[in-house]
Structure formats: structure tokens, C-alpha cells
Amino acid sequence: MKENISRTMSSAALIVGFFLIWEVLCIAFGISDVILPKPSQIFLVMWERWPALLPHAVQTLYTTMVGFAWGVVLGVAIGVLIGSFRLAYDTAYPLLIGFNSIPKVAVVPIFVLWFGSGTVPAILTSITISMFPIVVNVATGLATTEPELEDVLKALKATKFDILWNVGLPRTAPYFFASLKVAITLSFVGTVISETVASNRGIGNMMMTASSSFNVPLVFSGLFILAGMGIALHMLFSFIERRLTHWAHRKSEFATV
Amino acid sequence: MPAITRRHALIGAAVLAASPAFGATQPATRIRFTLDWKLQGQHAIFFLAREKGYFRDEGLDVIIDQGEGSAATITRVMSGAYDAGFGDINSVVEQAAKKPGEAPVMVYQFYNRPPYIIVVNKSSPIVKLKDFEGRTVGAPAGSAAARLIPVLAKRNGVDPAKISITNMQLSLQEQMLVQGQIDAMSTYNTTAYINLMMQGKDPDKDFRWFNFGDYGLDLYSNGVMVSQKFLKENPAAVGGLVRAVNRAVKDAAENIDAALAIIMKIEPLLNLAAERKRADYCFREVFISSETVANGFGDVDDKRLSRGIDIVVEAFELPRTPRVEEIFNHSFLPPKSDRMVSYKAS
């Protein structure tokens, strides 16, 4: 326990130190706030403009969560399909890899032509970008189910669905939750990409507006908000992961993050 | 749970009929409207029309989305994602020549004087159009101004192939010009003038301006356009849209600060001082001209438009020359006496 506290303290001190060094370097080299604002200035701007920033943050969070939720649903469905059927694996995998290789920023204008600008393209971008790691991990999890176990179950007259439900999916859980942590941060990336291209609200849009009026501290406060939300959600999913799949973690160090 | 009797139903109907929301009007016609750009001061006009209920008075429910460039408005409307928008008339001409049935139609003109410009630093060796040969001009991809550079070049005996255009994000071009990373930038003066001022520069003293209007390109520019489909299906709604926008233009010209207060409420992170200057600049330098004073705001002069169409057709080597009626539909304009706009700079 004591060890834990000192570990937390030292990491907190290092994070604070990071911002301090940033601050000091800005002052020491007299860097203009149009190039790189000081952290103190960024936090001040965030504090002062919070009522105006809040609706943007809420929009981004909402879009990300909707996109992420759909990404999880579709990701699991496709992952199960690919992991369970040879034919699905052979056809869907190349397609998915091809699709994932397309930079999402190139897809946004197409979504805008189809659905107009705003929330819909942001959600779609978020889905497309967050789905991939989930598909891959779920499919891998299913593929690593021991064949001996399957054979035993088959001998006991278990159907394919029984095996999937009782063995395959629980075995996949550690892979699945690990992928959620990656997917949630990617989901933010997708939303913000879309917001910078075409939207009326959201952190991405706010950063574009701020940078077109050269308000660089405001741009950075947008980045900080994104980072903050990303960290918070990552921690949330780490926590859920630890609660639900603690049986799979054999070592205590590093395993939680 | 009691059974629903005839009496209950009658009472229910009476209550519904008595409530003002029900039965008073038909459901509002929804219009998806795209702006030309991220929010700027002059867009306050459209938000004023929405917030003051001018659209509602005409039975319209207008959804206003921010845009990606004045030329991009045309693609957005043509794709069917939007019914109407604020964008560049010359890009409409281009599409009308290529895809006659699909191009949007202009119904209300805003930018009466051409806003297209190229700006260079005062210290730059570029002093006349010919000097642009071998140079790089920066502009955002959806920019209507950059699309007209070949036109400008041809009209003035400059080889368009020798001017290279590089695309960059709209928020970066002024910075890159000031830092000398590009030789010149091309955009709308409404955007550039204020943004350069925001960079701590004097737009008149520190830069050299090439206004397309001074080089034989006496073109109209942005205005309100609607899709042909929407115009056919909802002519009454188009009339309402134009009337509401016209009312808002007059309000904004009377009291620009009240209009800006509305857009600041929608996006408090805008820089009010800068957007006020921008709106003011738009009215003084681009919206109002001797022509709008004589003919009323919102209209176009068919002869001048016809010259403009010829310029665009020639420049882009378009397959056909669209007729004036294909580009601008005068029939929705309110009477001239309702369109007399005079700007009161405070």
C-alpha cells in the first residue's frame, strides 16, 4: 500500500514537472504565445472561457461516445464473424485492412457530401476508426481458443454456438477489453478529424475557429481538453477491464495500465 | 385504466385545437442551408434571420451549417445534402455549363463587388501580374478565388500554366504569407484584410493587393443559391427564404452591433472586435455599390452577369455558355422598394 502511494506521488510530481519545464523554457527563450503558449496561460484561458468551451467539449464527448458504442457493437459482430468462419476471414479481412489503410481525413468530405456537415459524419468517422482494433482483437481471441477444448465440447455434443458463447467469448474478454482502451482514444481522433473538416460545434471546430483568428492559447486549451477527456476515458476502461478480467492478469506490475 | 370514450376524445380534440401550437400553422418547411466558411461576422445576417424568427414567419425551419469554401457550397448543394447555401456565383456558372440539370440557381446576390484578390508582401518583387509567372500562390482547396486565377492570367496576357497554386488550410495562409513561406496568397478580401490586421499588420501599408476587379474581372460573387429540385418542389419556400434574408440584411445594415451580438451568443469564442471589422468591411467594400444603390440590394444586372458568364466560360473552356436565366432567378426577389439597403457605419 505504502509503495503504491509513493508510486502515485512520484508520477504526479513528474507530470507537474513536465509542465513546469515547459513553462520555464517558454519564459527563458521568450517564445511568443503565437508559437507556443505557456501552460499557465493555457490553463488560464481554459478557466476563463470554460462556459464557452463546455458546449464544444460536450458535443465532442457525445459524438465520440456514440461513435465508440457503434464501433464496439459492429467491431464485436464482425470480429466474431471473422473469428468463427473461414470464409468470412478470407473475404472480410483483406477488405477491412484495405479500408483501414485509407486515411480517415480523406473519407470525411465524402461523408459530408452524403449526410451534410455536423454530427453524422463525425460519428461515422469515429466508428470507422475505432472499429478496427476491436475486430482484430476479438478475432484473435477467438482464433486462440484451444482446439482440444473445442474437441471435448464437440464430443459432448455442444453446438458451434454453445462453444462460442461458453468458451470462445469469455476467452476473448482480455483481448476485447485491451482493444477498448485503444479504440476509445482512436474514437476521439476520428471525431476531431471530422470536426475540423466540417461541423458547427465540437473541440475540432472550435480549434479551427480559434486558429483562424490566431488565438493560439485557445487552440492549445482545446488540445488539453481532448487529452484530458482521452485520459479520463482510458482510465475508466482500464478500471472496467481490471474488474472484469482480473483473472487473466497473472502479474501485478504494469498489467493494470 | 378507463376506456377512452367519445367524450374524452372530444375534450382532447378541443384542448388540442385551443392550444396555439396546434392548428395555427402547417409544419414548417425544413431547409438545410450551408454557409461558405467557418463563422465570420457577416454570417450574423443569417443567424439574425433565424433568431429573430424571420424564417419562422415564412413557415421555414432553416438549419445553418458552416462551410468549407465558397466553391464547396455548390458541390454540397448538388450532392443533395443541402437544399440551399451561401456561395460563389461563378462556380455555379461552371457547374451549370457542365451539368445543366444539376447546378444550383442563385436567387439573392450578396457580394456585388468582386472580393477576389491576390496579396503579396510589400517587400516582394512582384509588382505586376506578369511577375506571378514562376511563383507559387497559396489558397485553400475550396477557394473560389484561386479557381479564378487562370481567368485573371489569361485576360491579362499571363501564362496561367506558369503560376503554380498550392493548397493549404484556410487558417494557415495569412501566417505563411507573413512568414514568407509562400510568395502570395489568394482568397477573398473579406477574409484576408481582417486576418492580416489580426496578425498585427497594416493591411494597406504592409501588403500589395491585386484586386481581380481592377484587371477586367468585374464579376459578381457570393449570394444565396437553392437546388433546382428544391426550387421546383417548394417555390413558396424559396420566396420565403429570400424575403427573410432580405429583412435580415436590412436589420444588420441598420444596426450591425445588434446582429453581431446574436452571432456572439452562438459562438462566444469568436473575436468580436475582428468580426465587427469584417462585417463592416463587407458592407462597405463588397456588399454595397453604386449598382445596389440604383437597383436595390440582392439583384444582379443581367448585362453584367452575362459578361461575367462569358469570362468564366472562356477561362475554364466550358462546353457551353449557360443563359443568364439558368444562373440567376429574379422572380423571388421582393419589390425594389423593399430592397433599399443603406449601411450605417457607427
Pick among B32, B64, B86, B171 to test the A interface (most A CBs inside 10 A)? B171
Quick one: pLDDT at residue A252? Answer: 55
Is the CB of residue B57 less than 8 Å from the CB of residue B43? no
pLDDT at B7 over 70: no
What are B322-340's pLDDT values in tens digits?
A: 999 999 999 999 999 999 9
Quick one: pLDDT at residue B169? Answer: 76
Quick one: pLDDT at residue A212? Answer: 72
State whether A212 and A106 are in the same domain.
Answer: yes
Instruction: Give the SS3 label for residue B163.
Output: coil
Complex ipTM tops 0.85: no
pLDDT at B2 over 50: no
Quick one: pLDDT at residue B296? Answer: 95
- Quote the CA–CA distance of A76 and A74 in Å, as a whole number: 6
Is A57 within the bounds of a domain? yes
State whether A27 and A48 are in the same domain.
Answer: no
Q: What is the 3-state secondary structure (H, E, C) of chain A?
A: CHHHHHHHHHHHHHHHHHHHHHHHHHHHCCCCCCCCCCHHHHHHHHHHCHHHHHHHHHHHHHHHHHHHHHHHHHHHHHHHHHHHCHHHHHHHHHHHHHHHHCCHHHHHHHHHHHHCCCHHHHHHHHHHHHHHHHHHHHHHHHHCCCHHHHHHHHHCCCCHHHHHHHHHHHHHHHHHHHHHHHHHHHHHHHHHHHHHHCCCCCHHHHHHHHHHCCCHHHHHHHHHHHHHHHHHHHHHHHHHHHHHHHHHCCCCCCCCC
- Quote the CA–CA distance of A185 and A226 in Å, as a whole number: 10
Higher local confidence (pLDDT), B219 or A117 = B219
Residues 144-163 of A with CB under 8 A from B: none
The reply to whether residue A211 touches residue B171, judged by beta carbons under 8 angstroms, is: yes
The reply to whether residue B32 touches residue A116, judged by beta carbons under 8 angstroms, is: yes
How does residue B27 score in pLDDT terms, banded at 50, 70 and 90?
confident
Q: How many residues does chain A have?
A: 257
The grid coordinates listed for A51 are: 462556459
Return all residues near B147 (Cβ < 8 A) that are at least 6 apart.
B71, B90, B91, B94
What are B91-121's pLDDT values in tens digits?
A: 999 999 999 889 999 999 999 999 999 999 9
The reply to whether residue A209 touches residue B170, judged by beta carbons under 8 angstroms, is: no
Tell me the residue type at B270: L
pLDDT at B9 over 90: no
Q: Where are the domains of chain B?
A: 20-113+220-339, 116-215
Q: Inform me whether the C-beta atom of residue A65 falls under 8 Å from chain B C-beta atoms.
A: no
Give the nearest chain B residue to A55 (CA atoms).
Answer: B267
State whether A156 and A130 are in the same domain.
Answer: yes
Rg (alpha carbons) of chain A, rounded to whole number: 22
d(CA B153, nearest CA chain A) in Å: 29
What are B125-162's pLDDT values in tens digits?
A: 999 999 999 998 988 876 778 888 988 998 899 998 99
Is A257 within the bounds of a domain? no
Quick one: pLDDT at residue B22? Answer: 46
The reply to whether residue A116 touches residue B81, judged by beta carbons under 8 angstroms, is: yes
Quick one: pLDDT at residue A157? Answer: 86
Quick one: pLDDT at residue B15? Answer: 46
Q: Inform me whether the C-beta atom of residue A10 falls under 8 Å from chain B C-beta atoms.
A: no
In this structure, the number of other CB atoms found within 10 A of the CB of residue A58 comes to 13
State whether A9 and A125 are in the same domain.
Answer: no
Quick one: pLDDT at residue A256? Answer: 47
Quick one: pLDDT at residue B247? Answer: 96
Quick one: pLDDT at residue B346? Answer: 61
The grid coordinates listed for A46 are: 481554459
State whether A105 and A173 are in the same domain.
Answer: yes
Domain that holds residue A97: 37-252
- Quote the CA–CA distance of A83 and A75 in Å, as a whole number: 12
CATH fold of B20-113+220-339, please? D-Maltodextrin-Binding Protein; domain 2 (3.40.190)
Q: Which helix (H) or strand (E) holds B225?
A: strand B222-226
State whether A164 and A94 are in the same domain.
Answer: yes
Higher local confidence (pLDDT), B237 or B2 = B237
The reply to whether residue A53 touches residue B269, judged by beta carbons under 8 angstroms, is: yes
State whether A201 and A120 are in the same domain.
Answer: yes
Give the nearest chain A residue to B195 (CA atoms).
Answer: A213
In degrees, rounded to 5, the angle at the alpha carbon of residue B255 between the alpha carbons of residues B249 and B259 is 65
Q: Which CATH class is domain B116-215?
A: alpha beta
pLDDT at B1 over 80: no
State whether A82 and A152 are in the same domain.
Answer: yes
Quick one: pLDDT at residue B19? Answer: 46
How does residue B6 score in pLDDT terms, banded at 50, 70 and 90?
low
- Side-chain-facing half-sphere of B273: CA atoms under 13 Å: 3
Quick one: pLDDT at residue B5? Answer: 54
Q: Is the pTM higher than 0.95? A: no
Quick one: pLDDT at residue B142? Answer: 65
Give the nearest chain B residue to A118 (CA atoms).
Answer: B65
How does residue B211 score in pLDDT terms, banded at 50, 70 and 90?
very high
pLDDT at B51 over 70: yes
d(CA A56, nearest CA chain B) in Å: 10
Is the CB of residue B140 less than 8 Å from the CB of residue B173? yes
Residue among B222, B227, B223 at smallest CA distance from B82: B227
Beta bridge partners of B166: B138
- Quote the CA–CA distance of B228 and B84 in Å, as a whole number: 10
- Quote the CA–CA distance of A45 and A126 in Å, as a whole number: 28
Q: For chain A, how many structural domains are there in total?
A: 2
Tell me the residue type at B243: R
The reply to whether residue B269 touches residue A210, judged by beta carbons under 8 angstroms, is: yes
Residue with cell 395555427: B24
State whether A116 and A89 are in the same domain.
Answer: yes
In degrees, rounded to 5, the angle at the alpha carbon of residue A162 between the alpha carbons of residues A157 and A168 is 120
Higher local confidence (pLDDT), A85 or B220 = B220
Q: Which helix (H) or strand (E) holds B136?
A: strand B136-139
Query: Which CATH number do you get for residue A216?
Result: 1.10.3720.10
The reply to whether residue B198 touches residue A117, judged by beta carbons under 8 angstroms, is: no
State whether A126 and A11 are in the same domain.
Answer: no
Q: Which residues in chain B are closer than 8 Å to A197, comparing Cβ atoms?
A: 68
Quick one: pLDDT at residue B166? Answer: 86
pLDDT tens digits in sequence order for chain A, 257 residues long: 567 788 888 889 999 999 999 999 999 998 888 789 999 999 999 999 999 999 999 999 999 999 999 999 999 999 988 888 888 888 888 888 898 899 888 888 889 888 888 899 999 999 999 999 999 999 888 888 888 888 888 888 888 888 888 888 888 888 898 899 899 999 999 999 999 888 888 999 998 888 777 788 999 999 999 999 999 998 998 888 888 877 776 655 554 44
pLDDT at B23 over 60: no
State whether A12 and A52 are in the same domain.
Answer: no
Return all residues near A59 (Cβ < 8 A) that are at least 6 apart.
A119, A201, A202, A203
pLDDT at B13 over 60: no
Q: How much of chain B exceeds pLDDT 90, in percent?
A: 69
- Quote the CA–CA distance of B314 and B217 in Å, as a whole number: 12
State whether A1 and A70 are in the same domain.
Answer: no
- Quote the CA–CA distance of B80 and B103 in Å, as a whole number: 11
- Quote the CA–CA distance of A143 and A151 in Å, as a whole number: 14
Residue with cell 456561395: B87
Pick among B39, B64, B66 to test the A interface (most A CBs inside 10 A)? B66
d(CA A78, nearest CA chain B) in Å: 30
pLDDT at B52 over 80: yes
Is A137 within the bounds of a domain? yes
Is A219 within the bounds of a domain? yes
The reply to whether residue B271 touches residue A206, judged by beta carbons under 8 angstroms, is: no
Which of B68, B170, B268 lies nearest to residue A212, judging by beta carbons?
Answer: B170
In this structure, the number of other CB atoms found within 10 A of the CB of residue B62 comes to 25
Instruction: Give the SS3 label for residue B210.
Output: strand
d(CA A224, nearest CA chain B) in Å: 16
